[in-house]
C-alpha cells in the first residue's frame, strides 16, 4: 500500500499513458480516491501549473501526487497555444475543435517545413510534507495540414512526425510511449521519485 501514487488528472488518456510507464507502482486516479478537485492553472509555465496540481492533490490525499502540465508550442504562432493548449479558443471547443482552430490560425503558413512545433511536458511529484521533484520532456514535429489518425488525444492528430511520416495519432501506442514528451518526462522522473520518496520504494 505504501507504493501508491495518485495521478493528479482526470484525463483518461494521460492516466492510461502514465499507468503503462510507471508499473509496478500502484497508480491511483482521483476517482479511485473519491477526490473531486479542480485546480486552477494560474501559472505562467508548464512546471508552475504542474506544481499547483501536484501540491493540491498531495494535500487532499495524503499520498505522493504526480502531476503533469503539457502543451503544444507552434513556432509560427510565437509559441501558442503553449500553457493555454487545453483552453485554446472558446470554452465550448473539444479536442477536435481546438485542432481545427489551430489549423485555421496556420492557414497562411502553407509550407509544412515552416510549421515547426513541439510538445512539452513538465512533471512534478509532491508529498503533503513538501518533498518534491520534477522533470521535463519535449518532442519535436510539424503541424500537419489536416488531422490524421484516431489514436491518442489532444493535438495528436495534427502533430506530424517526419521520421515516421505519420501523426502522433497514427503511430503505434508503443512507439508513442517511447518518443512522446510525456514518456520522456516520466522516464526522467522515475529515479527521482524513488530517491525523493522512500515510501514508494517499499
- Which helix or strand (DSSP H or E) is residue 57 part of? helix 46-61
Q: Is 69 a catalytic residue?
A: yes
The catalytic residue among 34, 69, 111, 172 is 69
How many CB atoms within 10 Å of residue 124?
Answer: 28
Kindly calculate the radius of gyration of the chain based on its CA atoms and give it in whole angstroms: 17
d(CA 168, CA 153): 9
CA angle 56, 61, 65 (to 5 degrees): 60
All cell numbers assigned to 58: 498531495
**Residue 61: half-sphere exposure toward Cβ, Cα within 13 Å:** 27
Region of residue 126 (phi > 0: left; psi between -120 and 50: alpha; otherwise: beta): beta
Comparing C-alpha atoms, which of 22, 95, 82 is closest to residue 49?
82
Sign of CA dihedral 26, 32, 33, 38: positive
What residues contact 140, with CB distance under 8 A and at least 6 apart?
Answer: 116, 117, 118
Give me the active site residues, please. Answer: 69
Amino acid at each position: 500500500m505504501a507504493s501508491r501514487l495518485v495521478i493528479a488528472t482526470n484525463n483518461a488518456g494521460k492516466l492510461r499513458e502514465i499507468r503503462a510507464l510507471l508499473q509496478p507502482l500502484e497508480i491511483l486516479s482521483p476517482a479511485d480516491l473519491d477526490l473531486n478537485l479542480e485546480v486552477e492553472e494560474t501559472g505562467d509555465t508548464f512546471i508552475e501549473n504542474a506544481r499547483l496540481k501536484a501540491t493540491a492533490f498531495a494535500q487532499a490525499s495524503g499520498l505522493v501526487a504526480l502531476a503533469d502540465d503539457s502543451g503544444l508550442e507552434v513556432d509560427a504562432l510565437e509559441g501558442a497555444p503553449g500553457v493555454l493548449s487545453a483552453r485554446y479558443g472558446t470554452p465550448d471547443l473539444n479536442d477536435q475543435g481546438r485542432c481545427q482552430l489551430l489549423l485555421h490560425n496556420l492557414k497562411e503558413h502553407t509550407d509544412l517545413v515552416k510549421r515547426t512545433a513541439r510538445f512539452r511536458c513538465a512533471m512534478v511529484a509532491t508529498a503533503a510534507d513538501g518533498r518534491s521533484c520534477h522533470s521535463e520532456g519535449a518532442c519535436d514535429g510539424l503541424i500537419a495540414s489536416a488531422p490524421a489518425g484516431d489514436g491518442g488525444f489532444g493535438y495528436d492528430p495534427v502533430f506530424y512526425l517526419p521520421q515516421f511520416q505519420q501523426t502522433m495519432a497514427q503511430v503505434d501506442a508503443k512507439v508513442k510511449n517511447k518518443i512522446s514528451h510525456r514518456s520522456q518526462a516520466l522516464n526522467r522522473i522515475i529515479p527521482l521519485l524513488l530517491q525523493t520518496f522512500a515510501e514508494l520504494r517499499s
